[in-house]
Amino acid sequence: MEPSAVKSIASVGHLDIEGGGMVDVQGPLAVIGHIAPPFATSIIDVSEPSHPRVVSRIKTRPGTHSHKARLCGNILVTNAEVYGGWKPGDKAGLVFFDISNPAQPKEVAFMEMGGFETGGTGVHRFQLDRDRKLIYASASASGYQGNITMIIDFADAARPKEVGRWWTPGQWIAGGERPTWQGTEVRTHHPNRWGDRLYVPLWGGGFSIVDITDLKKPRSISHFDYHSVYSWPTHTALPVSHKILGRDWLIVFDEAVGGNTSPPAFMWIFDITDETKPVPVATFQVSEKERRRLGEGRFGAHQPHEYVGPDNLVYAAWFSGGLRVIDISNPYRPEEVASYVPKPAPGFPSAQTNDLFVDAKGLIYIIDRNNGLDILKLSRPCRTIGP
């Protein structure tokens, strides 16, 4: 088996806008969750990808930022997470908006979280299940140390409600549990669902596979922890949507949280055919030559597009490494087939590609942590040789 031929990436459009932690796209609209106040979220018209334009902006709630945002029909959901300037009395959690008129978003609900006295932050990352109207969130709760996994039903967006929760044994201190780690070193970071499973990265604790057949009673299936042999925190655990070589796979991303440190955070590939015993079989790292060329500032893995389709391509945000496109047609030998590094934002030494989204047309949206939204496309159809 061979990987796809190397492809180039073309620029389609660019928007000069404050830096973001996330970009999400649905039809003609994109939303950006901004890193820092005063703006929480920007709603962007991308019906003409070569000329994206701002439609409206939502300001932050006191003491928070809203660096994650997702769309579901006429509903926009954002996080509200503890940020600089937080003080007692400020509130954090999830915010729900009606954007049937995107130019005038209307807040319809706020779901408050607790647990700030034990290291909770409100809501950090979350996945939105458009079909089942469920949210799988890294959320704080009273009595728990650090963020846990919370399942939220928003079928009635004006009245969202928790339907289930899961946590790592040791987090429920109000229930008598005692952690074997320091502070919030082990906590839910970014749950991802596929079928009746949640794949839960645990920051300093590796990842867990969780059965959510019964949403009210999530059940642990397995746990894999490669810390502290590799000390970069576990950011995302992404299941592949189909079998490759007749087996099931999990793509795991660590996060480069520091500067230009060796070795940088990278991508893992786990065989989860037997989900009770995940097996690491390969890793992917951007070359040392590229690292030396681009490594000024924060460099390394961060976040993939949250779907691996039948083309077997993983699209990844790599901070100063920009966008990397990785072919996993042979999961034992992942290979890069394309890359794109945007120009640094004015006043910054390097790009800081933080997040991305690939839409149904194959357009790739990447948001810089400091400034700038870029819309890209593989320059020609990607020929992927399957198993």
Token reading at 351? 């790009």
Count of structural domains, the chain: 1
Question: pLDDT by residue (tens digit) across 104-131?
Answer: 999 999 999 999 888 889 999 999 999 9
Q: If you average pLDDT over residues 338-364, what whole number do you get?
A: 95
Confidence check: pLDDT of 3 > 60: no
Is 32 domain-assigned? no
Question: pLDDT by residue (tens digit) across 87-108?
Answer: 988 999 999 999 999 999 999 9
Confidence check: pLDDT of 76 > 90: yes
Mean pLDDT value across the chain:
94
Is 64 domain-assigned? no
Is 329 domain-assigned? yes
Q: What pLDDT, on the 0 to 100 scale, is given for residue 292?
A: 86
Confidence check: pLDDT of 1 > 50: no
Separation CA 346–CA 331 (nearest Å): 38
Confidence check: pLDDT of 274 > 90: yes
Question: pLDDT by residue (tens digit) across 279-306?
Answer: 999 999 998 888 888 867 899 999 999 9
Is 141 domain-assigned? yes
Partnered with residue 238 across adjacent β-strands are: 251
Q: What pLDDT, on the 0 to 100 scale, is given for residue 261?
A: 65
Residue 260 — pLDDT band, cuts 50, 70, 90? low
Is 36 domain-assigned? no
Confidence check: pLDDT of 387 > 70: no
Q: What pLDDT, on the 0 to 100 scale, is given for residue 117?
A: 86
Separation CA 163–CA 167 (nearest Å): 14
Q: What pLDDT, on the 0 to 100 scale, is given for residue 4?
A: 52
Question: pLDDT by residue (tens digit) across 211-223?
Answer: 999 999 999 999 9
Specify the CATH number for the domain of residue 238.
2.130.10.10
Q: If you average pLDDT over residues 331-358, what whole number do you get?
A: 96
Write phi, then psi, for 109 (nearest 5 degrees): -165, 150
Angle, CA 371 vertex, CA 47 and CA 382 arms, to 5°: 55
Separation CA 335–CA 325 (nearest Å): 9
Question: pLDDT by residue (tens digit) across 31-71?
Answer: 999 999 999 999 999 999 999 999 999 999 999 999 999 99
Is 222 domain-assigned? yes
Is 29 domain-assigned? no
Question: pLDDT by residue (tens digit) across 175-229?
Answer: 999 999 999 999 999 999 999 999 999 999 999 999 999 999 999 999 999 998 8
Domain that holds residue 325: 9-14+117-378
Q: What pLDDT, on the 0 to 100 scale, is given for residue 262?
A: 72
- 94 and 126 Cβ atoms separated by less than 8 Å: yes
Q: What pLDDT, on the 0 to 100 scale, is given for residue 268?
A: 98
Token reading at 293? 């060329």
Q: If you average pLDDT over residues 344-366, what whole number do you get?
A: 95
- 214 and 265 Cβ atoms separated by less than 8 Å: no
Separation CA 65–CA 44 (nearest Å): 19
Confidence check: pLDDT of 155 > 90: yes
Is 160 domain-assigned? yes
Residue 2 — pLDDT band, cuts 50, 70, 90? very low
